[in-house]
Structure 1
Amino acid sequence: MSHKQQAISGGKWMSMSTAISTLFQFGQVAVLARLLEPSVFGIVSVSTLLIAFFSIFANLGFSNSIIYKQEEDRLVLSTIYLLNMALGLVIGVVVYFCWPLVVGYYKEPRLEQVIKLSSLYFIVVYVGQIYLFLLQKELQFKSVASIDITGTIVGSSVTILLAYTGYAELSLIYGQLAQQGAKSILQIIYGAKFFSPTLKFDLNLIKEHLQFGLYNVGDGIVGFIQANSDNILVGGMLGVKQLGYYTLASQLAVFPISRLSPIVLQVAYPILARFKGDTNELKKSYLTILDLLSYVNLPLLAGLFITADSVVPLFYGPGWEPTILLIRIFVFVSIFTFLSNPLFTLAFSKGKPKLLFFLNIITLIIKIPLVYLFAQQWGVVGIALAFLLATLANLLINFRIVKLLIGSFLSEFSQNIIKPIVFCLLMTGAIMLYKSYAPTINAVNTIAEISLGALIYVGLTFRYKYSLAELKTLSKAA
């Protein structure tokens, strides 16, 4: 199977996984928004931040180094596996005992039990994680997709059931643990044919992996602070209720893009790593990735921007109106973010993860003062605006780094992106016209708005970008 066919096949399976998982996630949020108050989402958001931060240390960037080096040595992999397990256990203990600091900062007693339960995540996740890395290295995306779908179904089912029975914020934590537990079991089952660990532990064997991972950890820490400083300050300065509004807005506008973009990147990186020395091939692949992400993401974000005032009352229910403006700001955050994401494939394919580290350092220096100052002036909306400006700065610097890696590309990029932008403008114009004649917010009009926008965008894409015959050819190649 050629690299193109592998990419198409991988993209097909990861697209299916993401579509199903995203639908379940949105269905879960729609149900929970009617069962739980905004402060509950803020509390769980704190737990999610804590898990994301400590995961940086336990991973040590081994996923990227295993793929980059195409590692197959059983003793090396066993050492990495045992080290990950030990780090996961240590970090779980640290998280468990850090609850007084978290409760003190957010001034929210309900966080104690949430943090203690969250500590179990690190014991569960690292049991099967190395098998996931190996499945990705071997381009076993059908297995990766099956694991992700099963985990999402299990997690969403447990969460909703417990929320109905009165577990409040704990329902989301138990749901996360159930989801990751199911995924870890399946990762071992699917990945066992590629690796069976031994009790061999020798750090000398993984020196190169540790060196490769050093910038990953540094980049992870800085990247976490850069990406989540707004969430941290919202909760600390404005309380968990405002953090709940902020979290729900982010989930609707940013979460789909954070799920869709990695489909392409997750499939592309293991393949590009195999011809990392060919700059021309990397440039073509980078532009192809940007083109695909633009055609997929822009219509979703443009549609969300224009229909936010209709979608929020129907999707979240009454009481969530403060999220509408936040969602519209986050739409532009998502646009700048998905355009920035493909640098990941270039940096790691070129063996230069330190570039991502420096990029995040610069963005952090820009973002934190903006977040603090804007919060003082405009509260939670100000923090969202600060996030927007910092993300724009990140994109501009990102494109400069890309130019250093693969040469000039903006002319080709501009020619590619103009079509989806025009299609989106026509789509949003039609929806605005429809809304002017049908201003009432109800399910029928909202579905009509979404359907109208989809028909226009898809029709224009088939007419001026991809024909049905080309799509059938790609489908057969998969």
Structure 2
Amino acid sequence: MSNQKKAVKSVSWVTFSTILQTALQFLQISILARLLSPADFGIVAISNTVIIFFSLFANLGFSNAIISKQETNKKTLSSIFFLGIFLGTIIFLLVYISSPLIVSFYHEIRLAKVIQLASCIFLITSFGTVFSAMLQKELNFKSIAITDIAGYIIGVSLTIFLAYHGFKELSLVYGGLATDFCKTVLQVILGRKFFWPNLHFSFSEIKAHLRFGVFNFGEGIVGFIQSNWDNIIIGRLLGAKVLGYYTLAYQLAIFPVIKINPIILQVAFPLIARMKENPSELKKYYLKILDLISYFNLPLLAGLYITAESVVPLIYGPGWAPTFPLIKIFVFVSVFSCLSHPLFTLVYTKGRPNLLFYLNLITLIVKVPLVYYLGKYWNVTGIATAFLLATMVNTILNFFIVQYLIGNYLKDFLANFYKPVLFCVLMVLVVYFYKGFIGYSGLLNTTAEIVIGGFIYLLLTIFFKYSIVEIKNFKRTI
């Protein structure tokens, strides 16, 4: 099977998985927002920040190294497997023991049990890391979709059940652990045909992967700080309740990006890794990735921007009005972020993870003072604005790095990019006038806004971007 056919088949499976997960996540959010308080979400957000930080030490970039180097040596893979389990155990103990210090920093006693339970994730996921990487390397996204769907169904079901029975913030933790346990078991079962560990370990055999992971790890540390600095400041100075509003606003605004981009990028990375010796193909596929990402993300983000006051009460229920201005800021954060995300496919393919490290380091240097000064004068809105400004800087630098890696591409990119931007502006204007003359509250008005906006974007697409014939031809290739 050709790479193109594998890619199309892989995208189909990832798309199906993402759609189902998205539906389940919307169901979970809409129910939990009515059962849990903003403070409950804030506590879990703090815990997640801690877990994400320590997970950088547990992986050390081995998954990306396996895919980038197209690793097949079983002794090398076995060494990576056992090192991962060792690191996972050490990180589990470290997080568990350090929980009192974290509680003291945030002055939130409920954090102790949440963090101690959440630390078990390192014991669980360390067994599936290599198996998951091998499935991606072999473009076996059917198996990946099965693991994701099964894990998510179990996790969401358990989370809602426990929240309904009064487990509060712990319902999210138990649900997350159930998801990861199910996924890990299935990763091992479905990935064993590509890899099964031997009783073998040698540092010398994984030196190349460790060297690859040094900058990958450094980039992860710096990237974590610059991505979570706002959460750390809000949780420490403004409290769990404000962090809860901030977190849910961000999650809703970033939702299209974290759901649509993986559909494309999960498949794109191992595919692009096979083209590292063909610069023209590399550039062509990178431009296709940017075109797809911008075309599918922008209308959803523009729609959320103009319908936030209608959509939030329907999803979260009453009492979440403080998220409205934050969502509008985070929509623009998501626009810039979605254009930056594909860079990792290039730097890992080219063996230059150091470029991501430098990019995130500069972004961190910009973001830290912005968060401090804007947060000092405008509280949580100022912090969200600082996040937006730092993301804009990151995206501009991102473009320069891509130019350095694949040559001049901006002219071709802008030739594709201006169309979805223009379509979105027209879509927003029409919906804006509808809201002003008809209204925006209630299910009927919200549905009308979504239908009108979607129809305008689709109509403009058919007339000015993709013809009906092109769309039919694309469907036939699938």
TM-score normalised by the chain length of structure 2: 0.98
- Partners of 1:131 and 1:192 within 8 A in 2: yes
Could you say which residue in structure 2 is the equivalent of 1:151? 151
Specify the SS of the correspondent of 2:417. helix
Q: Which residues in structure 2 correspond to 1:33-432 (within 5 Å)?
A: 33-432=33-432
Q: CA deviation at 1:464?
A: 2.3
CA distance in 2 between counterparts of 1:397 and 1:302 reads 24
Counterpart-to-counterpart distance in 1, 2:324 and 2:2: 45
**How large is the Cα RMSD of the aligned pairs?**
1.1
Residue 152 of structure 2 aligns with an amino acid whose one-letter code is: T
The answer to whether the 8 A contact 2:131-2:191 is kept is yes
Distance 2:384 2:26 in 1: 22
For 1:297, give the aligned amino acid: N
Question: Contact 1:13/1:141 (CA < 8 Å) preserved in 2?
Answer: yes
Deviation string, structure 1 residues 98-143 (Cα, Å, up to 9, x no partner): 1111111111000010011011111011111211100000000111
Measured after TM superposition, the shift of residue 237 of structure 1 is 1.2
Residue 2 of structure 1 deviates from its aligned partner by 2.2
* Inter-partner Cα distance in structure 2 for 1:436 and 1:344: 42
Question: Could you tell me the TM-score, scaled by structure 1's length?
Answer: 0.98
Which residue identity is paired with 1:230? D
**Rounded Cα–Cα distance in structure 2 between residues aligned with 1:463 and 1:380:** 42
Q: What secondary structure does 1:275 align onto?
A: coil
Deviates more, 1:118-127 or 1:301-310: 118-127
Local SS of the residue matching 2:201: coil
State the shift of 1:440 in Å. Answer: 4.7
Structure 1 range deviating more: 433-442 or 249-258: 433-442
Identify which range, 140-149 or 329-338, moves more after superposition.
140-149
Give 1:14-33 correspondences, 5 Å limit.
Answer: 14-33=14-33
Q: Which amino acid aligns with 2:405?
A: L
Partner secondary structure for residue 81 of structure 1: helix
Counterparts of 1:128 and 1:394 in 2: how far apart (Å)? 32
Query: Greater shift after overlay, 173-182 or 147-156?
Result: 147-156
**8 Å contact kept, 1:132–1:191:** yes
Aligned partners of 1:277 and 1:350 also within 8 Å: no
Q: Which amino acid aligns with 1:438?
A: I
1:379-438 CA distance string (max 9 Å, x none): 011000000000000001111111111111111111101110111111111111211122
Structure 1 distance, partners of 2:137, 2:469, is: 32
Amino acid at match of 2:306: I
Aligned residues: 478
Mapped to 2, the partners of 1:476 and 1:231 lie a distance apart of: 46
Cα deviations by residue, 1:246-265 (Å, 9 ceiling, x for unpaired):
00001100133122112211
Tell me, in whole angstroms, the C-alpha distance in 2 between the residues paired with 1:368 and 1:53.
17
Deviations along 1:182-222, whole A, 9 cap, x unmatched? Answer: 10011011101111111101111111011111111101100
Runs of 5+ unmatched residues, structure 1: none
- Structure 1 window deviating more from structure 2 (18-27 vs 58-67): it is 18-27
Conserved in 2, the CA contact under 8 Å of 1:10 and 1:267?
yes
CA distance in 2 between partners of 1:474 and 1:50 (Å)? 44
